[in-house]
Structure formats: C-alpha cells, structure tokens
Amino acid sequence: SMQCFPSLVLALSSLLGALALLQLSLYLRVPSRYGKHEERLCRPRGRLPARCAWFLQELPSFLVPALLLALRSPPRLEPLGCRLLCCLFCWHYFYRTFIYPFFTRGRPFPLQLLFFGTLFCIYNGFLQGYYLIYCAEYPNDWCTDIRFTSGLLLFLLGMGINIHSDLLLRQLRKPGEVTYKIPQGGLFTYVSGANYFGEIVEWFGFAIATWSLPAFAFAFFTLCCIGPRAYHHHRYYLKTFTDYPKSRKALIPFVF
Ligand code: NDX
C-alpha cells in the first residue's frame, strides 16, 4: 500500500516551481495560444469544442485527489484538517470540471495545449492529493489555527470572485457568438483579469490554509501561468477598444 515519501513531495514540488519559471519565461513576451490569443492561421482541425476540452483537461484534478481520498486504506480519519483541505481542492475542480465547461461559450481549444493541460492536471492533482492524504501532519485543532482560518477565508473570497467573473465573461456572448467585448461589472471595473485575480487569491489562500510546499508551489505556478495572460488580455483590450476604461489595471486593482 502507499505511504509518504517526503523526498518525492520535495522533488515534485520543485519541478512544479521550475515549470512555473519556465512558463514565466515563455509567456511574458508572447501569450499562451488559446482563446483571444490564438493565431489566426492555426489549423482548424487541431481543436476540440471548448466544452469537451475543459471537461477533459480539468477532470484529473478532481478525480485523482478524490480517488486518493476515497481509496486510502485504512481510511485516514485524523486529523480533520487533511480531509477538509483535500475536499476544498476537489470542490474547486468539481466546479471547474462539471459546471464551468457546460456553460462556457469559449472558442474551440487547441489539442496540443489540451494535451499538456491534461498532463499538468494529473501531475498537480496527484501532488496535492498525495501530500494531503499521505504526508500532511496537522495538530487536531488546525481548524482553529489563524493560518487555516485566514487561508480558508481567502480561498472562499477568491473562488467567489473567480466564479462571478467567469459568469460576467460568459454573459458577454449569446450562445454561438465568438466575438470579444469589454467586460463590465464586478472586479472588471478595476482589472482586465478579474477571473485570474480571483483564481490567484484562491490558491494563495489554499497555500496558507495548508501551509505546505506543494500548495505554495501550485499558487506560484498559477501566478506564473495566468498572471502574464492577464497582462496580455489587458494589452489586447487597449489595442482593440479605443474607449477602453483608462483607469483599469491588468491584474491587481489600483496597482498593476
Ligand atoms: N487550465 C490552468 N505550460 C489551463 C489550460 C492551459 O485550469 O504548456 C492551467 C487551467 C494550460 C494550463 C492550464 C497549464 C499550462 C499550459 C497551458 C497551455 C500551455 C501551458 C499547459 C492547465 C504549457 C508548460 C510550458 C509549463 C508545459 O473564446 P474564448 O475562449 O477566448 O472565450 C473566453 C471568454 N472571454 C470573453 N468573451 C467575450 N468577451 C471577452 N472580452 C472575453 N474574454 C474572455 O471567457 C472564455 O470562454 C472565458 C474565459 O476566458 P479567459 O481567457 O479569461 O480565461 P481562460 O484562460 O480560458 O481560463 C478559464 C478559467 C479562469 O477562471 C482561470 O482562472 C482558470 O480557468 N485557469 C486557467 C488556467 C490555469 C489555471 C486556472 C490555474 O493555473 N489555476
């Protein structure tokens, strides 16, 4: 049966941090090529409808930790913190896998990125789940620790902002439409990447609540993945819409 190998957790977390840096260097100057940044000339056959693509890609991030949690024998009942935190992670990916894709009005997604995205979700789902279920040690009163409570609060706040912003983006289009408009309302009043801001707050909250290396590595990865994308979205809007609100920032309200 499985057990905790701390050196495995350290190795996988370090690789995740390295991937984050690789990503930063790849995508600071040119955006990752999907959605509004996909090249016009891209082969139309190399894509899958957004609905299938997001479902397939995000599914492992829900399934892998959920299975690790369910199949562990003997079941781990103590401490409560481990199971709660694992459930938070699964909860987010339940939304991202079973709810988000069925409402998206996004354009078809490139197969090549889908492949890497799926690999990434297997990798990260395993790392976070394995760490929480087989390795993490928390005192029995972790649920009242200031790190757990403040992290949980940030997680919930970020998730709320992320889901609300995704909803506002979706409402910009009628079914079947693929045009881009200026997002309005919610945190879009202040930043172009409101959904990304929410997601980043969410995973830093998760990292604080778990106080763990794998979760901080994932929060850093998220920042390096969608931070540059927020910046490229912002530039796209400024270039495309002459009436784009001048005071709006790229990612962080009032700052950047
Ligand atoms: N999926 C995370 N890296 C990613 C897929 C891409 O969940 O090779 C990471 C995730 C993957 C990435 C994933 C991992 C790294 C990969 C990358 C591709 C390359 C990269 C594999 C897995 C890679 C190395 C080198 C390390 C191997 O038509 P459309 O699609 O543009 O429509 C959009 C619409 N919309 C508008 N509609 C009308 N008017 C406008 N102005 C509009 N603006 C947008 O809204 C979409 O339907 C929708 C959202 O669009 P957008 O572009 O704002 O968000 P999107 O990037 O599609 O993300 C959707 C949600 C969002 O809430 C975000 O926070 C979350 O997913 N997300 C996304 C990426 C990663 C991630 C979270 C995370 O790291 N936690």
Query: Using one digit for the tens of pLDDT, what is the confidence trace for 102-149?
Result: 999 999 999 999 999 999 999 999 999 999 999 999 998 999 999 999
Q: What is the pLDDT of residue 45?
A: 76
173 close to ligand 1 (CB < 6 Angstrom): yes
Q: Is residue 248 part of a domain?
A: no
Q: What is the pLDDT of residue 82?
A: 82
Q: How much of the chain, in percent, has pLDDT values that exceed 70?
A: 98
Ligand 1 atom at shortest distance from the alpha carbon of 200: 75
Amino acid at position 190, single letter: Y
Nearest CA to ligand 1 atom 32: 106
Q: Output the average pLDDT for the chain.
A: 94
Q: Can you say how many angstroms the Cα of residue 164 is from the centroid of all Cα atoms in its chain? A: 15
Q: Is residue 247 part of a domain?
A: no
Q: CA triplet 22, 155, 204: central angle to 5 degrees?
A: 30
Q: Is residue 253 part of a domain?
A: no
Q: What is the mean pLDDT of residues 1-24?
A: 96
Q: What is the mean pLDDT of residues 226-237?
A: 97
Q: Is residue 221 part of a domain?
A: yes
Amino acid at position 38, single letter: E
CB neighbours of 217 closer than 8 A, spacing ≥ 6? 13, 14, 16, 17, 20, 127
Q: Is residue 66 part of a domain?
A: yes
Q: What is the pLDDT of residue 57?
A: 98
Domain count within the chain: 1
Choice from 88, 116, 178 to test ligand 1 binding pocket (greatest atom count within 8 A of CB): 116
What digits encode the pLDDT tens for the residues 130-141? 999 999 999 989
Q: Is residue 140 part of a domain?
A: yes
Whether residue 248 is predicted with pLDDT greater than 80 in this model: the reply is yes
Q: Is residue 171 part of a domain?
A: yes
Global pTM? 0.96
Q: Return d(Cα 153, Cα 9) in angstroms, integer.
A: 26
**Helix axes of 194-210 and 146-170: crossing angle, nearest 10 degrees:** 160
Whether residue 75 is predicted with pLDDT greater than 90 in this model: the reply is no
Q: What is the pLDDT of residue 1?
A: 72
106 close to ligand 1 (CB < 6 Angstrom): yes
Q: What is the pLDDT of residue 41?
A: 56
Q: Is residue 249 part of a domain?
A: no
CB neighbours of 162 closer than 8 A, spacing ≥ 6? 195, 198, 199, 202
Range of the domain at 211: 6-36+45-238
Nearest CA to ligand 1 atom 9: 117
Nearest Cα neighbor of 127 from 1, 13, 22 is 13
Cβ distance 65 to 89 under 8 Å? yes
Cβ distance 8 to 123 under 8 Å? no
Q: How much of the chain, in percent, has pLDDT values that exceed 90?
A: 88
